Amino acid sequence: RSLDSQSVQNGILPVIAHRGASGFAPENTIAAFDLAVEMQADFIELDVQMTKDGQLVVIHDTSINRTAADGPEETVYVKDLAFTALQSYDVGAGYDSVYEGQRIPLLEDIIRRYKGKTKFLIELKSPELYDGIEEAVAELLERYKLANVLYEEVILQSFNFGSVAYLSQLLPQVPLGVLTSRSADLTNRKLDKISTYADYVNTHFTNVTQDDTLVGRIHTRGMRIMPWTIRAPGEVQPLIRAGVDGIITDYPNYVK
């Protein structure tokens, strides 16, 4: 796999709002995504998992407890709840009372709300827990005519490399990325293998600042790199100087 370099956002460095503008609003909520669009983020990053009844939902943790202010004491997993049950939880109030009433969104609702207004960096979170999640995502993208690379409206990514390799068969035209924080995954040997099915190697930003050969080694293999997660203004410039292809940040206003 290798992307046409002409399609790199016309030379403008893409800014990706991590879980929405999650530095200012509760992560993975409409409030955070609306704010990201207001801040002119080029992409919104979001985490997708699947409910017991097969709905694709936007939430980072495999359990609801950290983000649901009104959740129970015991651990409740996304995979064990139907979508209607999951919707009973408030994922805004714990961040700030002004966000009370925010709900866990459906991926489909996010696509309908923001298609044409921003682009989507969709992470399949822990896909090993969800049989059929790759097919469900592929079906949704095809239904919304997002399964071709023409405008690069969607990038899919995962920490699960096997899932990314499988997606490359299901969605041959959609740009794909692997996620890793481990420098051991970034050897030339490993990058050679990754380049057979992925277009992006998105890693923790300290791997870029600690290894000045990394961006070049990824580019040489026809891939791009968008590091995460930038949470301080001073972290941006060294990454731009290193030649990265996008900035994944909780604070899109640091870069825009």
Residue 245 touches which of Ca ion, ligand G3P, none (Cβ within 5-8 Å per kind): none
Tokens standing for 103? 């709900």
Question: Could you say which of 28, 29, 126, 202 contacts ligand G3P (CB under 6 A)?
Answer: 202
Residue 248 in the binding site for ligand G3P (CB under 6 A): yes
Residue 31 in the binding site for ligand G3P (CB under 6 A): no
The angle that helices 107-114 and 30-38 make with each other, rounded to 10 degrees, is 20
Q: Which of 18, 19, 119, 125 is catalytic?
A: 18
Q: How far apart, in whole angstroms, are the C-alpha atoms of residue 70 and residue 63? A: 13
Q: Is 18 a catalytic residue?
A: yes
Residue 248 touches which of Ca ion, ligand G3P, none (Cβ within 5-8 Å per kind): ligand G3P
Which one, 4 or 110, has the nearer CB to Ca ion? 110
- How many Cα atoms occupy the beta-carbon half-sphere of 38 within 13 Å? 11
Residue with tokens 């996008």: 246
Which one, 42 or 123, has the nearer CB to Ca ion? 123
Q: What is the dihedral of CA 143, 149, 154, 159, to 10 degrees?
A: 110
Q: Does residue 142 come out as left (phi exceeding 0), alpha (psi in the -120 to 50 range) or beta?
A: alpha
Could you say which residues in the range 179-198 bind ligand G3P, by CB under 6 A?
A: 179
Site string for ligand G3P, 40-79 (x = CB under 6 A): -----x-x------------x-------------------
Q: How far apart, in whole angstroms, are the C-alpha atoms of residue 142 and residue 40? A: 26
Which positions touch ligand G3P (CB under 6 A)?
A: 18, 45, 47, 60, 123, 179, 202, 228-229, 248
Active site positions, annotated: 18, 60
